[in-house]
Amino acid sequence: MKPLILALLCPFFWVLPASADGDTPDHEWAGGAVARGEFLPLAGILSQIAAVQPGRVIEVELEYSDDRYIYEVELVTPDGRLIEVEVDAATGTILQLEEDDDD
């Protein structure tokens, strides 16, 4: 399955078409999963991350890995570090929080 990519750039929300069924745009497919209670809303996930690691969100991806959907969030901290946070989309559990060393 292709990863579902949700990129946050400034106040704009960009969605690239690559839904689970191949025909439905990502935002509609993901919105349906949230409405059915399969995923937690992205706003709540971002609030949860902000409480643990403040920063400006620069990218969000929704990917299927290890038999579950995961929000991968990249943010820039106030001191300029790039942090990647992985969160289980269904439970909201933070799975990984690490500094991204990729340049």
- Give the DSSP per-residue string, 29-54: HHHHHHHTTSS--HHHHHHHHHHHS-
Fold of 4-99: Nuclear Transport Factor 2; Chain: A, (3.10.450)
* Number of CB atoms found within 10 A of residue 50's CB: 12
The mean pLDDT of the chain is 80
- Give me the mean pLDDT over the 42-56 stretch: 95
- Give me the mean pLDDT over the 33-46 stretch: 92
- How far apart are alpha carbons 34 and 51 in whole angstroms? 22
Q: For the chain, give the percent of residues with pLDDT over 90.
A: 58
